[in-house]
Structure formats: structure tokens, C-alpha cells
Chain A
Amino acid sequence: GAGVSQTPSNKVTEKGKYVELRCDPISGHTALYWYRQSLGQGPEFLIYFQGTGAADDSGLPNDRFFAVRPEGSVSTLKIQRTERGDSAVYLCASSPTPGQGIGDTQYFGPGTRLTVL
């Protein structure tokens, strides 16, 4: 696995439904980030994991959003009771342990385009 992978690439759901978005980081990367990118805007930080723990979840917009990384590798972003305003591209990135120069470079996946009807 050369890069960060995200599944599904596209997800269409109805308002009020629950969705899960998956991120598979680069092997060996301890840091994992989730971002949300709306049309015409830059990525908006949601949450950062170092290993299994969420070290910074200050970007999660409300309690409908939750993310896990139980084994320190794959992460799942979960959105409950989806709203039309949640429609966006959800990006995942990984990096080696941050704060060590090389570790500060984030490698991004292709994203999951979520559409809430």
C-alpha cells in the first residue's frame, strides 16, 4: 500500500441517516488527521490521532461527529443524523510521528465525497 486510502470514494445518503467513512493510513504512520473540505474552501481540521488516542478533537463541529482508531492504524469517521450541511469531501491524512521534522509532512488520501440528500 503506497499511499493513504479512503473508502468509499463516494457516499450518498439521506438526511438523518448514519454514515461511516474509513481511512487506511500509510503503514507505520502514527499520526492521522481528518479534514472536511467544502466546495471552494481549504481543508478544515476535524481531529488528530496520535496512535489510538484522539490528541486533538477541537475541530469536530458537534457531537454528531465521532472518530475512532482502535488499533492505531485504520480510522473511521462516524456521522450520526446526517444533515445536508454535512455534504463535503472528507479527507484523511497520515504522517510519521509529528514534531520530528519529517513527521510534519502530511500525506493525504483521495477523499470521500459525502452527499446528504
Chain B
Amino acid sequence: AQSVAQPEDQVNVAEGNPLTVKCTYSVSGNPYLFWYVQYPNRGLQFLLKYITGDNLVKGSYGFEAEFNKSQTSFHLKKPSALVSDSALYFCAVRDMGTGGFKTIFGAGTRLFVKA
């Protein structure tokens, strides 16, 4: 069965510093991988996805993520954090090996960016 792990409940970083939010996954086939962000009192917003091709994926608001098949990871990164990046981040995976469209989300990582 497919699964997603976000090992950190919370990540703290100073504004201007690089940030990483970790995600590992488990699937039987090829994965489709996603990052979503949830701001307070707002719905989930799509950030970026990996379907195929380049392992480094660039997305909205300067975020990027690297697909690492051998480590089954899809960590979210940004070179220089902003206070406005503070939010709840979710990694998600769809297992294309099952042929289904069920998307499994991680428990989320809260990012705090301090000015």
C-alpha cells in the first residue's frame, strides 16, 4: 500500500536562510508526487508536482523539490525563506502501479520562518 511520511512536525528557519521540508514515500509502482501548502483559514494550494522527467521540479513561490528514486524521497526546498512562507506543508503521492487515482497525504509539516 502507498504511504507518505513527513518526519518533522515542525521546521523553524530564519528569514533569508534556505529551507528544507522532508518527505519520503512508499509505492508499489511509479509515483506521482505532490506538494501542497495550507495557509490559515485558506484551502490547500498546489505548489509543485513530479510526474516524470527531470528529477528537480520547480514550482510556485520559488519552491522546488527533488525526486530521489533510490532514497524514495521528495524533499521540498527553497533557497531563501520568507516570513510569508510560514504555513502547513503537505506531501502527497499517487501510486501509478495500482492504476488508481487515490492520493495519499502526509500528516503535514508546519514551517515557521522567523524575521
Partner of A45, one of B45, B103, B108: B103
Partner of A101, one of B43, B51, B103, B108: B51
Query: What is the CA–CA distance of A97 and B49 in the complex, to the nearest angstrom?
Result: 16
Interface residues in A, total, Cβ within 8 A: 30
Interface residues in B, total, Cβ within 8 A: 23
Query: Known: A101-B51, A104-B32, A105-B46. Is A42-B106 also a contact (CB below 8 A)?
Result: yes
Question: Which A residues lie within 8 Å of B104 (CB)?
Answer: 45
A41 contacts B107, C-beta separation under 8 Å: yes
A91 contacts B103, C-beta separation under 8 Å: no
Max chain A Cβ within 10 angstroms of own Cβ: one of B44, B92, B102:
B44
Enumerate chain A interface residues (CB-CB to B < 8 A).
3-4, 31, 33, 35, 40-45, 48, 50, 55-56, 58-59, 91, 93, 98-99, 101, 104-111
Query: What is the CA–CA distance of A93 and B92 in the complex, to the nearest angstrom?
Result: 14
A45 contacts B102, C-beta separation under 8 Å: yes
Enumerate chain B interface residues (CB-CB to A < 8 A).
4, 32, 34, 36, 42-46, 49, 51, 90, 92, 94, 100-108
Partner of B101, one of A43, A48, A109: A48
Question: Which B residues lie within 8 Å of A106 (CB)?
Answer: 34, 46, 103
